[in-house]
Amino acid sequence: MNRSELQTAFDASRPALEALVRIQGEYDKVGWRVSEPGAAKFRHICLHLMRTTAEFARIAEHNDHHEDDGEPVSNEELRTLLGEQGLLIAELAFSLLQLAQLGDVDIAVALHDLYRRNASHFAPESPFADLEAIRYDEQLTR
């Protein structure tokens, strides 16, 4: 994709991402118990993220043992393994949407600027690095 095609794709994704944030907000009204104050909701989202991340770490640790035994997990095995974890992956999106709603973050803009920022460091010759920052113009720090 060139820069123009990337920008068009980001623009096209915006309504869908905004709709998902709205859906998450509606779900949270009926299905998320820790909502007020906002800081309590944020804390509880973080706790869910830690649990979800720990599950991914458990999978990665299992794979590390296989690799250490000289039997690394193939890309196809990993694809299958992750495919079986659809709800766990959705948990990440669930939390992302909650955080976006809580912080009034436009996910399409934030992703656009994240790709631009990271590409400026890791892929400076790519069309991602040629994107103009929309809102977030910080530099990558390592």
Could you read off the pLDDT of 93-103 as tens digits, one per residue?
Answer: 999 999 999 99
Rg of the chain over Cα atoms, rounded to whole angstroms, equals: 18
pLDDT digits (tens, 9 = 90+) for 64-73: 999 999 999 9
Give me the residue label for tokens 């296989």: 66
Q: Tokens 């250490």 label which residue?
A: 68
Task: Tell me how far apart the alpha carbons of residues 124 and 117 are, in angstroms, rounded to a whole number.
Answer: 10
Q: Residue 139: what residue type?
A: Q
pLDDT at 139: 86
